[in-house]
């Protein structure tokens, strides 16, 4: 192995430790932390790590927490302010989702809030969200669940109780796939409802025809 490859292998191993092993409240590491530990070529190191993670269905994700996502290719200064973390490349099965410590109704509540905020063009009032969740979850769970989503970084709340998508949602949730899934579920429900109504109408029509035939006899 050449000295260059050996140096990169060592840096990739170090990057793996920094991203996989949690040292702070939030997962992953900031760009400036990676620069300090790996050098100014840390974006290249992360690219190599990302390639190595493909076979494990994982990926290195870049998230701009409070800064706006730069237009075009981010500069090194932009990346220094970003957060890097390892997330799934694919999707969790329902059985796997239970193993990460989240109840299915908690995940459903998060999906509802995320899709609602997207539908509201990126922001909505907390009271609207609470009213929506009250229709789906027990009253006593609504407030604590929203607070948990905020605490974990999936939702942000400002001083006016406006809710926005958090950095972790942008990192871990495929918003387009979520909306398509919900739309597909809604279409399926509408189709099943129409099919049921048609079957009921057919049964009523058959019953009416049978009654008329009996009268003729």
Q: For position 139, which CATH number holds?
A: 1.10.10.10
Look at residues 172, 189, 212 and tell me which one is the last residue of a structural domain: 172
d(CA 88, CA 60): 9
Instruction: Confirm whether 186 is domain-assigned.
Output: no
**What is the domain count for the chain?**
2
Structure tokens at 130: 């609470």
Write out the two tokens for 91: 């999707």
Domain around 23: 3-90
Rounded CA separation 167/179 (Å) = 18
Counting beta carbons within 10 angstroms of the beta carbon of residue 40, is it exposed (0 to 12), middle (13 to 18) or buried (19 or more)?
A: exposed
Within-domain flag for 192: no
CB 169 within 8 A of CB 111: no
Is 83 in the same domain as 102?
no
* Residue 189 within a domain: no
pLDDT of residue 130: 93
Q: Residue-wise pLDDT tens for the chain (217 aa)?
A: 555 666 788 899 999 999 988 766 778 899 999 999 999 999 999 999 999 999 999 999 998 876 566 777 888 999 999 999 998 887 767 666 666 667 888 888 888 899 899 888 889 999 999 999 998 888 898 999 999 999 888 999 999 999 999 888 888 777 777 677 666 655 554 445 455 555 555 555 555 455 555 555 5
State residue 158 phi and psi, 5-degree precision.
-95, -175
- The helix or strand, by DSSP H or E, that contains position 156, with its residue range, turns out to be strand 155-157
Residue 7, domain member (yes or no): yes
Q: Specify the 3-state DSSP secondary structure of 65.
A: coil
Which residue, 36, 34, 33, is CA-closest to 47? 34
**Is the domain of 85 the same as that of 107?**
no
Q: Which of the listed residues 75, 90, 105 is the one where a domain comes to its end?
A: 90
pLDDT of 2: 55
Does residue 8 share a domain with residue 47? yes
pLDDT, residue 52, reads 93
For residue 16, being part of any structural domain is answered with: yes
**pTM given for the model:** 0.62
Residue 22 lies in a domain: yes
* 43 and 66 together in one domain: yes
128 and 103 together in one domain: yes
Residue 31, domain member (yes or no): yes
Of the candidates 137, 87, 82, the residue with the CA atom closest to the CA atom of residue 107: 137
Q: What pLDDT shows up at residue 190?
A: 46
């Amino acid at each position: 192995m050449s000295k260059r490859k050996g140096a990169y292998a060592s840096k990739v191993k170090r990057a793996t430790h920094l991203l996989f092993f949690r040292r702070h409240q939030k997962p992953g590491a900031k760009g400036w932390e990676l620069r300090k530990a790996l050098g100014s070529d840390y974006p290249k190191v992360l690219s190599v790590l990302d390639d190595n993670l493909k076979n494990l269905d994982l990926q290195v994700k870049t998230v701009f927490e409070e800064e706006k996502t730069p237009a075009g290719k981010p500069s090194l200064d932009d990346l220094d302010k970003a957060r890097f973390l390892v997330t799934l490349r694919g999707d969790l099965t329902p059985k796997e989702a239970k193993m990460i410590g989240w109840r299915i109704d908690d995940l459903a509540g998060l999906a509802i809030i995320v899709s609602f905020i997207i539908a509201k063009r990126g922001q909505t009032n907390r009271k609207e969200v609470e009213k929506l969740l009250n229709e789906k979850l027990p009253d006593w769970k609504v407030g604590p669940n929203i607070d948990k989503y905020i605490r974990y970084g999936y939702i942000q709340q400002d001083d006016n109780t406006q809710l926005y998508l958090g950095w972790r949602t942008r990192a871990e949730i495929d918003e387009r796939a979520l909306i398509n899934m919900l739309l597909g579920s809604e279409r399926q429900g509408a189709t099943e409802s129409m099919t049921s109504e048609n079957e009921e109408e057919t049964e009523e029509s058959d019953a009416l025809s049978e009654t008329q035939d009996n009268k003729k006899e």
